[in-house]
Amino acid sequence: MSTGNVRGRLSDTTAQEMVGAVLLLGIAVLALDLVRLLVTGELSIARLGSYLWAGIVDSLYIGLAAIGLSMTYSILRFANFSHGDLITTGAFSGWTVAYLVGGIGVADLSSRLLLRANGGAQPGAVGMDVLAAPLAIVLGLVAAVIVTVLVALAIDRLVYRKLRDEDGIALLIASVGVALALRYLLAVFYTTDTRGVVAQAPSPGGVDLHQLTLVVSAVSLMLGIHLLLQYTKLGKSMRAMSDNKDLALITGIPTERVIFATWVIGAGLAGAAGYLIVLDRGQVSINLGWFLLLLIFAAVILGGIGSIYGAIAGSLVIGITINLSLVWIPSDMNEIAAFTLMIVVLIFRPDGLFSGVETA
Amino acid sequence: MTALEERLSDRVSELGLPQWAVDLLLIGGVVLATYALFIVIGIVFGVSTNLIVGQLQQITFFAAVYALAALALNLHWGYTGLFNIGVAGFMAVGAYTMGMLTAAPDGSPPGLGLPLIVGVVGGMIAASLVGFVAALPALRVRADYFAIVTLGLSEIIRRALLSRSLQEFEIAGYALGTGGGSGIRAPSTDVVADYLLYVGADRTGDPTTLGAVLFESAELLGIQPSIIRNGVYTLILIAFVVAFYVLLTRIAYSPFGRILKAIREDELAARSLGKDTNRTKIKVFMLGCALMGLAGILWQGSRTQISPNSFMPIVTFYIFVALIVGGSGSNTGSIVGGFAFAAFLYQGPRFLRTIVRALVDVRAPPTIYDAFVPLASGDPLPLLGYAIGSLDEIRYIFIGLVLIVLMIRRPDGLLGHRKEIAAATDLSRRPAATNGGETDE
Amino acid sequence: MGLLEVSDLDAGYGDLQILEGVDMTVDGGEYVTIVGPNGAGKSTVMKSIFGLTSYMGGSIEFDGAEISSSRPEDIIATGIGYVPQNDNVFASLSVKENLEMGAYILDDLPEDRLRGIYDRFPILEERKSQKAGTMSGGQQQMLAMGRALMLDPDLLMLDEPSAGLAPDLVDDMFDRIDEINDDGTAILLVEQNAKEALRRCDRGYVLVQGRNRYVDSGDALLADEQVRQDFLGG
Amino acid sequence: IGDGVGGGGDADAMVGVLQPVTGDLGNLGAPIRDAAILPGTQLEDSDFTIDIREEDTESQPDAGVSGAKALVNAGYPAITGAASSQVTITVAEDTLIPNQVVGISPASTAPTITNLEDDDFLFRTCPSDALQGEVMANVAYEERGLESAASFYLNNDYGQQLSDSFVTAFEELGGTVSNTVSFEAEQPSYTSALESALADDPDMMIVIGYPASGEQIFRDYYSDFDSGQTIMVTDGLRDGDLPGNVDNSMDNVVGTAPLAAGPEQDAFTELFQEEYGDDPGVFTAQAYDATAVNILASIAAGETDGPAIRDSLRDVANPDGEEVGPSNLEEAVQLVDDGESVNYQGASSSVNFDDNGDMQAVTYEIFQFGDGGVETVEEIDFEA
Amino acid sequence: MSDVDTESRPADGGEATAEPTSRSTDSSILEIRELEKHFGGITAVDGASFAVERGTITGLIGPNGAGKSTTFNCITGVHTPDAGSVVFDGDEITGREPHQIANRGLVRTFQIAREFPEMTVLENMMLAPKAQLGESLWRSVMPIARREVVEQEAVTRDRAWEMLEFFEIDHLAHEYAGNLSGGQRKLLDLARALLTEPEMLLLDEPMAGVNPSLEKKLLEHVHELQEQGYTFLLVEHDMDVIMNHCEHVIVMHQGSVLAEGTAEDIKADEAVVEAYLGGDV
Ligand SMILES: Nc1ncnc2c1ncn2[C@@H]1O[C@H](COP(=O)(O)OP(=O)(O)OP(=O)(O)O)[C@@H](O)[C@H]1O
Ligand SMILES: Nc1ncnc2c1ncn2[C@@H]1O[C@H](COP(=O)(O)OP(=O)(O)OP(=O)(O)O)[C@@H](O)[C@H]1O
Ligand SMILES: CC(C)C[C@H](N)C(=O)O
Ligand SMILES: [Mg+2]
Ligand SMILES: [Mg+2]
């Protein structure tokens, strides 16, 4: 299907602007309504605050994953459906290491190695929180990043590299295959049971330390990536490659090395996201990443593919949407709101809400 | 497998038969060879006739279901290039509409209590209408965005069906509902089998002549009546597969089909030749969605309960595997792919599990650790037990690997790339009046 | 021994062979043109020199070193610049960034080269922060050429630089190429504007169906009746 | 135990065990499954061939139907299962009733099962939640003086109906129910759903669900909402591992569940501990009883045929006849085979089926979570 | 607009016919008035007006970025103009969809030929004819109605063969279009456009990147077709083509028409020489 030109035609009309205006109007109405609810006291400030905070926390880990997805999308030119399972890989590998380290002398090897697949070694008993086992938690994060990167590189070598010249749809289909194989390979080892692996978060003075760890880690990782891309040639060569791969090759950009770097960053962030999500939620499951994937796609598309700041901004929109929408709609509809927003944006601003914003 | 089918198709094409006959032979050959394989395996391992026949019935049922869906998807993706990965959503619309129209008015959730046929037709219409609504905007975006839009749409549909907000509602004084997470209970489509088998479709009553013959011969072979009943319904599904096939093949070999291909290849060029591609795309999208809805009805509707989680995105990917295995763009391929998927990827592993469970009496150890530890002391049984216990997971891995290997080695599917020429007449015939020469280069 | 020495080259795409035993030489500072019908394999020759096709046999030497199995980034470093036929600028990067990309393999941006290129193509300095994709066709050709010149190559390969340009720009383009050549850079040029190209070059190759058909000085080819008839449209 | 490949016919009794070993109910389902196959193990060395085959419902209707189809196609005329009411109803309507196969659920408590149009093929050894809702309301309003409540329930037959039953009873007593919020199983986060359930800051909240979801619900609850109100749970969350998995002592949680209080409860407990080295959990006694009466009825019927088993179920379970039970199952089988009339006295109750296939008398417990797992703090008897 | 109508209304009503030779050649077939097209801040076409005489070969030239391709896109419905009107054969076609315009008899080819690569050359050709019965879904599927479709297909096929013979690419009929060489694609594109029985053809740089020998052949075809009554408007940068083959030349510059006239007039026009043909950048 080549609808590129139809899109071009569409972009000539003012439909875009019209829908944009309607969208803005809608947002304005909702904002006014929000004020009304606050004034009438139907919605307490505290509740609004907790929605917003939850939205920010959600958007941070969605954002971590979205940066990686956006980068691989723009540089390798395909929608990577296995990205969610990289997140899951990070969660399992990282927490396995955390358990292995933190559970020494407390729990038996099999519970630690397989993250309680047998139901033993409950997290409280092992002391899985940031105060009781800070070293284990940090090592786990490092391991999550490293293992996920290695897995992603191995997959690239075995699968995607062989499909470099194919079109995006072939790669997309292959990535669905990768997603299935990876997820259920994990399931064979860890079983499909959902289970808690993190102890209750210590919260001195009402500050949830696990959530705080998530926020601090996520923000520093994002900052790190920003600096890396801003102050090295890597950022520019990535943009050049996503613009025109053949020409990048001719210009002497070592494309395979850029792809390598893309996987390292993208998968590393995905792994970290997976690990941090579990730190916050407490439970790990085989479907962790897969269920998040569509939300991450929504964030990437909202922000505009290829733009890192777009991905972060898109994640904020998604995170806030799924939480703040609870003011008006029941909680089992909140993702419907997020997906609808994604579709509307895709149709009327195919380049994303934040297109035009410069990327590193 | 690949080599086998290839050789088969070569051999068959040597006979110089018309295309449809070749295709029929091909499908028949593959099906019979697979049946034979399963029967041999069954006999070798001493499986009872009842179980073998039961397995073949199950395989055929799923083969038919996946063939139906793959054929519909082939119309979208194979012919028109519309990369629709929201198939499960359209199936859900079909099945749910049928459920809501036919469920008893005093049920929970209540339905309209209309006859089954109204439900089936209504379901198809609803699926195509949702297709229409989706098509209007979705057709304007790029192929990979289109994929994400359709996937998002199918999730929106599924979540809406799950939501308690629609669990029960009222329209124009009629109470209706989706039943939320519990789903909807409605008459199942497989009652049509009862009409053939029992007098007055009353299962506790007397069988019809056909029913009597079937049940008696089944009794002789030691086959459960439930298998016969399911078998008859499976035959009805096969009739639908044939109908889909004829319909889609007619479309494929026509000027309409030619426009579809042209849209797939280069839409702007087609428009510039005066083809109203938007209308055509909407039409074919709606038609495909209606067929998907029907496939959903025939499949999920054959259960008394339709629940939202039967329409997870994985279902769409199953259908994609079936289509890709057979080779997208080919209707014959869709059927062969549906069958191969059902036989080897979907049901086959379960058959193996049944056999292994019967042969070796092992309990699956709770974790793979407990399976490996005894291995160190030379006892492989726990590991085998674990593998059998994790068969569902292993099957998913296998499906994933098949997809990957197909994309790398045979992106055109097992049947290879079959570029069927879209025309309602034989193109190799050249007008006699012209200076002619050879038709072939 | 020429600067570029292609001998008996076989190459193609995937399993499909396009070039069969192509020989080609460019001496230092020489100006060589390749002409031939559509699909003859002219672009393929250039891509092969740059290692972008499936190599099937023969040798490609540059400056005395075999480069047929080198990676593009290494070939650039040996001193070959290449401006491909179409899609030859990074559309979403600014003009200046495009030029910087030309010196990607260096650690630091060679400021004096950049200066030199701005002097040669003043329009590029004027528009240095404009997105390359929004420039006109002729401007994009200049930018592409500028980018290829960033490393001060010994050999510049240009694939149909005049295609789609307005007549005044075509003349201008040829003049620019002459200038670059006068500064000592060897030129390998593919052109459908064959008469003009042959008129200006030192030597010309006629390529047909992936094989060498004629080699001679540009003027001699222009004078050859057969060549005129078959390849230059009479 | 059984040979799954057989075509049936050569065994004296064939019972399919259809229980959730994985999925949301996995933690409770695995012991239930264990108990359900226990009679088979017990009779292994007897003169009778008992063919028992397991299938996993994965706590979901879809997988449940597949499992049931497999059992039915393999000729099993009677089934112990399923656990979740949702799965049981689906399986019964889709597979068991049309194929005239008997189903005895040990755990499906949803009230609608009572009046399901089942041609009398569906039984259960557990009580209906019509009673449990009342028990809950009583405990909350009368005993603890809690006047406002929120209901947070799993969106399936069990959750919906038990929630309704509680709400009706609670409001009848004079309490107010501020919010009823349903949730889906095994979601990654319940924070937003809990937010709406607890919006009006009620005195108490009831949580009706299964363990895997429950773990996440309580994690989210304790990390964001814990303000000391009473949480009341039901049989679905009677999982001793829950506090440890949630990593909270769950002191504010109180629960109700059907209690195994049959005449032969001790005999069963001993059997179970001996075989599995573990204490029996919720609905395990009911599961044992279900399989046991299935076997007895089959042997009484003299053939592995659904309708025949259905017709002899009440004969072996209900009064009149020699009292038998877990302690002497082998004898019981022998007696039945000899044509004697028996009255099965179970581990969970005396197992007397009424016209709807429900239990006639049941006991509930009030439990709390303690160090050693679940602690029964009170027993309540009901006689219908 | 009524004056335009009377001016351009052809004597025979302009109905698309299978017999192109019967067309009158005495009035303008295409008329562009004050056309404007903006992209964001860029004005691509800025009030261009011109007319094309029936039966002529008209050239459209101008510097890069003058707005020629955009004008083509506005005429053929790929873009909707922001202002101005396009009148074709007496009908106002401004803002209509590309397929409507093509069906009206105004057909274009593309600068880079757009074939359907996975369809054979013959299939490519058979797509072209207008209003085929079998383009209706029902007719293709319904048992009885399908008979007519099959009959028409045979006719269509024979016409496609004839056209392929005319362009001397009939030996490629069963080849997949994706395997053709660049020049052969251009021939296919033109042949396919003709099979729609247009009244007028818009060709965007038909000779760009075409080898001179092939160029000659293509031009011969164009002249032959002109004699049959077709009208051509072509964008071209090759001055030889413009000067030797076009009766009439329109020069665009910065979105509007700078000059118009015969090739000789244009060559002599100082503004044109300044803006396009020579001078410095
Ligand atoms: N990426 C590719 N894959 C397969 N075949 C290709 C590819 N690129 C070019 N070809 C084929 O190789 C042959 C030579 O192409 P090439 O581009 O070298 O021709 P050319 O001489 O540059 O022609 P032109 O003057 O039209 O640019 C053609 O037959 C073309 O179809
Ligand atoms: N889709 C678009 N978006 C933004 N600007 C555009 C678009 N299409 C064309 N333009 C701009 O409009 C102007 C006119 O472009 P057009 O392609 O019509 O020129 P042209 O006369 O065909 O030039 P050439 O001879 O180089 O093909 C140019 O400045 C171009 O950059
Ligand atoms: C196992 C039990 C918790 C099942 C629950 N009583 C239900 O009916 O769904
Ligand atoms: Mg070329
Ligand atoms: Mg142009």
Three-state secondary-structure class, residue C133 = helix
* Tens of pLDDT, residues A68-117: 999 998 898 899 999 999 999 999 999 999 999 998 888 888 888 888 88
State mean pLDDT over D183-189.
Answer: 86
Yes or no, beta carbons of E63 and C166 under 8 Å apart? yes
Q: Distance (Å, rounded) from C-alpha B420 to C-alpha B329? A: 8
* Tens of pLDDT, residues E79-113: 889 999 999 988 899 888 899 999 999 999 887 77
CB atoms within 10 A of CB B432: 7
User: What Rg, from alpha-carbon coordinates, does chain A have?
Assistant: 21
Give the position of tokens 């875009």. Answer: A16
Encoded amino acid at D184, one letter: E
Contact at 8 Å (CB) between B340 and B182? no
Contact at 8 Å (CB) between E278 and E63? no
User: What Rg, from alpha-carbon coordinates, does chain D have?
Assistant: 20
Contact at 8 Å (CB) between A255 and A241? yes
Assess whether pLDDT exceeds 80 at residue B426: no
- Give percent of chain C above pLDDT 90: 39
Nearest Cα to Cα of residue E241 among E272, E217, E275, E270? E217
Q: What is the pLDDT of residue E11?
A: 39
Nearest Cα to Cα of residue C102 among C82, C129, C74? C82
User: What Rg, from alpha-carbon coordinates, does chain B have?
Assistant: 24
Residues of chain E with Cβ-Cβ distance to B266 below 8 Å are 114-116
Contact at 8 Å (CB) between A200 and A191? no
Q: What is the pLDDT of residue B304?
A: 82
To test the contact with chain D by mutation, choose from B41, B229, B304, B393 the residue with the greatest count of D C-beta atoms within 10 A, namely: B304
Q: What is the pLDDT of residue A24?
A: 82
CB atoms within 10 A of CB E16: 15
Yes or no, beta carbons of B307 and D160 under 8 Å apart? no
Residue B132 lies in a domain: yes
Q: Tell me the C-alpha to C-alpha distance, in Å, between residue B434 and each of A333, B262, D224, E158, E160.
A: 67, 28, 85, 9, 12
Phi and psi for B4 in degrees, rounded to 5? Answer: -60, -50
Assess whether pLDDT exceeds 60 at residue B436: no
- pLDDT tier for residue A60 given thresholds of 50, 70 and 90: very high
- pLDDT tier for residue A7 given thresholds of 50, 70 and 90: very low
Task: Give the atom of ligand 1 at the shortest distance from the alpha carbon of E211.
Answer: 25
Contact at 8 Å (CB) between E128 and E196? yes
Judged on CB neighbours under 10 Å (0-12, 13-18, 19+), C224 is middle
Contact at 8 Å (CB) between E190 and E5? no
D82: cis peptide before it, omega within 30°?
yes
Residues of chain E with Cβ-Cβ distance to A8 below 8 Å are 78-79
Flag whether residue A7 sits within 8 Å of chain E, measured between CB atoms: no
State mean pLDDT over D225-231.
Answer: 88
Residue B65 lies in a domain: yes
Phi and psi for D102 in degrees, rounded to 5? Answer: -80, 135
Assess whether pLDDT exceeds 80 at residue D212: yes
Positive or negative: CA dihedral E190, E196, E198, E202: negative
Q: Minimum-distance ligand to the CA of C159?
A: 4
CB atoms within 10 A of CB C112: 9
Encoded amino acid at A332, one letter: D
Q: What is the pLDDT of residue B10?
A: 61
Contact at 8 Å (CB) between A208 and A201? yes
Nearest-CA residue for atom 7 of ligand 2: E39
Q: Distance (Å, rounded) from C-alpha E267 to C-alpha E271? A: 10
Residue of C nearest to E251 (CA): C166
Q: Distance (Å, rounded) from C-alpha B185 to C-alpha D83? A: 19
Report, at the CATH architecture level, how domain C4-88+153-231 is classified: 3-Layer(aba) Sandwich (3.40)
User: Which letter does DSSP use for residue A163 in this model?
Assistant: G
Kindly list the partner chains of chain A, i.e. chains with 3 or more CB atom pairs below 8 Å. Answer: B, C, D, E
Q: What is the pLDDT of residue E249?
A: 92
Domain count, chain B: 1
Q: Distance (Å, rounded) from C-alpha C80 to C-alpha C187? A: 10
Sorted by where each starts, the structural domains of chain A and their CATH numbers stand as 44-100+135-348 (1.10.3470)
Kindly list the partner chains of chain B, i.e. chains with 3 or more CB atom pairs below 8 Å. Answer: A, D, E
Contact at 8 Å (CB) between E116 and E123? yes
| Two tokens, residue A76 | 């390798």
- pLDDT tier for residue D8 given thresholds of 50, 70 and 90: very low
Q: Distance (Å, rounded) from C-alpha B194 to C-alpha B189? A: 10
Q: What is the pLDDT of residue A161?
A: 93
CB atoms within 10 A of CB A264: 18
Q: What is the pLDDT of residue E5?
A: 38
CB atoms within 10 A of CB C17: 16
Yes or no, beta carbons of D193 and A200 under 8 Å apart? no
Residue B17 lies in a domain: no
Assess whether pLDDT exceeds 80 at residue D331: yes
Contact at 8 Å (CB) between A347 and B140? yes
Three-state secondary-structure class, residue E228 = coil
Those residues whose C-beta lies under 8 Å from the C-beta of residue E155, and which sit 6 or more positions away, are none
Residues of chain C with Cβ-Cβ distance to E213 below 8 Å are 37, 229-233
Assess whether pLDDT exceeds 50 at residue E10: no
Contact E178 CB / ligand 1 (< 6 Å): no
- Chains E and A: 3 or more CB pairs within 8 Å of each other: yes
Contact at 8 Å (CB) between B146 and A344? no
| Two tokens, residue D105 | 């659920």
- pLDDT tier for residue B65 given thresholds of 50, 70 and 90: very high
* Tens of pLDDT, residues E198-224: 999 999 888 776 777 778 888 888 898
The length of chain C, given as a count of residues: 234
Flag whether residue E210 sits within 8 Å of chain C, measured between CB atoms: yes
* Tens of pLDDT, residues E166-189: 888 888 888 888 878 777 888 898
| Two tokens, residue E77 | 């419905």
Strands D322-324 and C31-35: unpaired
Q: For D246, left (φ over 0), alpha (ψ -120 to 50), or beta?
A: alpha
* Tens of pLDDT, residues B130-180: 999 888 776 777 777 888 889 999 999 999 998 878 888 888 888 888 888
Residues of chain E with Cβ-Cβ distance to C167 below 8 Å are 237, 239, 276-278
Phi and psi for D165 in degrees, rounded to 5? Answer: -65, -40
CB atoms within 10 A of CB B395: 20
| Two tokens, residue C125 | 């300095």
Q: How far is A67 from chain C (nearest CA, A)?
A: 20
For chain E, domain boundaries: 25-115+197-281, 117-179
Q: What is the pLDDT of residue B14?
A: 61
Q: Which residue has the higher pLDDT, D33 or E14?
A: D33
ipTM of this complex: 0.88
Beta bridge partners of A23: none
Q: Distance (Å, rounded) from C-alpha B368 to C-alpha B375? A: 11
Q: What is the pLDDT of residue A23?
A: 78
Q: Using CA atoms in the order B320, A339, B291, B65, what is the torsion angle rounded to 10 degrees?
A: 40
Nearest Cα to Cα of residue B275 among B121, B35, B56, B80? B80
Flag whether residue A4 sits within 8 Å of chain E, measured between CB atoms: no
The set of protein residues with a Cβ atom below 6 angstroms from ligand 3 is D 25, 28, 83-85, 107-110, 158, 235-236, 283
Q: Distance (Å, rounded) from C-alpha B99 to C-alpha B93? A: 10
DSSP E strands in chain D: the ranges are 13-19, 50-56, 78-81, 102-105, 122-124, 148-154, 176-183, 204-208, 230-233, 253-259, 322-324, 342-344, 361-370, 373-383
Q: Minimum-distance ligand to the CA of C138?
A: 2
Assess whether pLDDT exceeds 80 at residue E15: no
Q: What is the pLDDT of residue D5?
A: 45
Strands C155-159 and C186-190: parallel
Residues 361-390 of B with CB under 8 A from A: 366-370, 373, 390
Q: Distance (Å, rounded) from C-alpha A111 to C-alpha A197? A: 11
Flag whether residue E80 sits within 8 Å of chain A, measured between CB atoms: yes
Strand order from edge to edge, sheet including E57-61: E106-109, E200-204, E231-235, E57-61, E248-253, E256-261
Give the position of tokens 């690997």. Answer: B401
Q: Using CA atoms in the order C165, C167, C171, C176, what is the torsion angle rounded to 10 degrees?
A: -20
Residue of B nearest to A339 (CA): B152
* Tens of pLDDT, residues A221-244: 999 999 998 888 888 889 899 888
Q: What is the pLDDT of residue A16?
A: 62
Strand order from edge to edge, sheet including C4-13: C16-26, C4-13, C54-62, C65-66
* Tens of pLDDT, residues D261-289: 889 999 999 999 999 988 899 999 999 99
Assess whether pLDDT exceeds 90 at residue D141: yes
Q: Give E25-115+197-281's CATH code, choosing from 3.30.2130.10, 3.50.50.60, 3.30.1380.20, 3.40.50.300.
A: 3.40.50.300
Q: Which residue has the higher pLDDT, B401 or A12?
A: B401
